[in-house]
Structure 1
Amino acid sequence: MAKDAKPAEEGTEVPKKKSKKLLIIILAAVLVLVFGGGGAVYMLMKSADHASDDEDVAEETVKPKKKDKKKEAEIPPVFVNLDPFTVNLVPETGDQYLQVALSLELVDPHSEPILKALMPKIRNNITLLLSSKKASELLPKEGKENLAGVLKEEINNAIEPPVKNKKGEVIPSEGPVKSVLFTSFIIQ
């Protein structure tokens, strides 16, 4: 019977161990919930702080956007390089040639596709204009400056043709070309 008593005692101790295990599991679950809830509250508080920081950052980004509008008004110039032109000049003392490379400064970067679409017409007009000049007209600085102005007007007229008003006067177009720059200018 002594052997029977031991199992009975072990049986009574087993429920005590099970209750201790159950108590430990419940305490662990409560701790997990407490720490999880505390962590969630901490994260919510932290995100609320970040939301106010984000508002500060948003205010800071609004100010540069106002500056960006000013910068958009001061857009850096856009340059379009044209292939070189080689033409015969009007003869004065024998055959003379002009080889010139141009860069066009555009007012608006959005006008570049329009310029490229009309490039055959523009190149034709420039070639006709250049071949009608004499070397003596183009050699001085003033001659080159006048040529740049005439080229600018010719290119702008090719892109936006001039319009006549009711009186029959021709109103020149503004056009997208701001200036014509010579990158190479050779007369032989």
Structure 2
Amino acid sequence: MAKDAKPADDGADAPPKKSKKLLIIIIVLVLLLLVGGGAAAFLLMGSNHDEELDEDEVAEETVKKPAKKKDNALPPTFVNLDPFTVNLVPEVGDQYLQVALSLELDTPESQAQLALLMPRIRNNVTLLLSSKKASELQPKEGKEKLATEIMDEINGGINPPTKNKRGELVPSEGPVVSVLFTSFIIQ
């Protein structure tokens, strides 16, 4: 009987070994599921975070336009405008400004768009020029500032500025790259 008792003891030891292996396998599987679930949640939350941008960032991104690629092989396109003659804001008597402009455009196709809107453009530039004083326009910096303002005014007439989420006007980019003075006379 002693021999029969030993196998019974061996049988009692064997089931705990199987349960330990089974327990280890279950723990490993649970850990793998947790790690996999955590990785999936991280990936889903990460892609969701990219979509939920700040309101200002969304507004700025919608206003921005892709940068126009300038083909260096094409010569620049220039358009001459008829001369402008306006009364300046009086400082010491009546003063007049006569100015002739050339506009550099980004593409040759922009010339047609500019021609269609010429009455609006001439109106905006005339209003801008007549709001200036002779003393503002005398120095070189004044003329450079005026050229920038004319460019913004023309581009704004073609592509009106838009408002961002804060209500601020965002200037639009237009076809005019630069404004060149071909004649500038103050009397």
- For the aligned pair, the TM-score class normalised by the smaller chain equals 0.5 to 0.7
* Whole-angstrom CA distance in 2 between matches of 1:71 and 1:184: 28
Q: The residue matched to 2:109 in structure 1 has which SS?
A: helix
Matches within 5 A, 1:54-65: none
* SS, match of residue 105 in structure 1: strand
Separation of aligned partners in 1, 2:70 and 2:183? 32
Amino acid at match of 2:145: N
Aligned-pair distance for 1:73? 4.8
Read off the aligned partner of 1:165 and give its amino acid letter.
Answer: N
Distance in 2 (CA, whole Å) between partners of 1:150 and 1:71 is 23
Q: What is the alpha-carbon distance in structure 2 between the residues aligned to residue 71 and residue 139 of structure 1?
A: 34
1:136 aligns with 2:105: no
Distance 1:97 1:71, change over 3 A: closer
Question: Where does residue 169 of structure 2 map in the other structure?
Answer: 170
Amino acid at match of 1:75: L
Amino acid at match of 1:150: E
What fraction of aligned residue pairs are identical, expressed as a percent? Answer: 74
| CA–CA separation in structure 1 for the residues paired with 2:138 and 2:95 | 12
Deviation for aligned residue 1:150 = 0.3
Aligned residue for 1:79? 78
> Matches of 2:161 and 2:70 in 1, distance apart?
31
2:116 is matched with: 117
Structure 1 window deviating more from structure 2 (109-118 vs 160-169): it is 160-169
Change in Cα spacing, 1:80 to 1:165, as seen in structure 2 (3 Å) is same
TM-score normalised to structure 2 length: 0.61
- RMSD over aligned Cα atoms: 1.6
In 2, Cα distance between equivalents of 1:172 and 1:103:
22
Distance 1:164 1:74, change over 3 A: farther
1:103 maps to which residue?
A: 102
Counterpart Cα distance in 1 of 2:109 and 2:133: 36
SS of the residue 1:93 aligns to:
coil
What residue ranges of structure 1 are gaps of 5+ in the alignment?
Answer: 1-69
Matching of residues 1-188 of structure 1 within 5 Å: 72-188=71-187
CA drift at 1:172: 1.0
CA contact 2:70–2:106 (8 Å) conserved in 1? no
> Take 2:131 and 2:150, find their aligned partners in 1: how far apart are those partners?
12
Task: List, as ranges, runs of 4+ consecutive aligned residues in structure 1 with deviation greater than 6 Å.
Answer: none
Distance in 2 between residues matched to 1:179 and 1:142, nearest whole Å = 15
Residues 104 and 71 of structure 1, relative CA distance in 2, 3 Å threshold: closer
- Name stretches of at least 5 consecutive residues in structure 2 with no aligned partner: 1-68
Aligned residue number for residue 36 of structure 1: none
From the superposition, tell whether residues 74 and 121 of structure 1 become closer, same or farther in structure 2 (CA, over 3 Å).
same
Number of residue pairs the alignment of both structures matches = 119
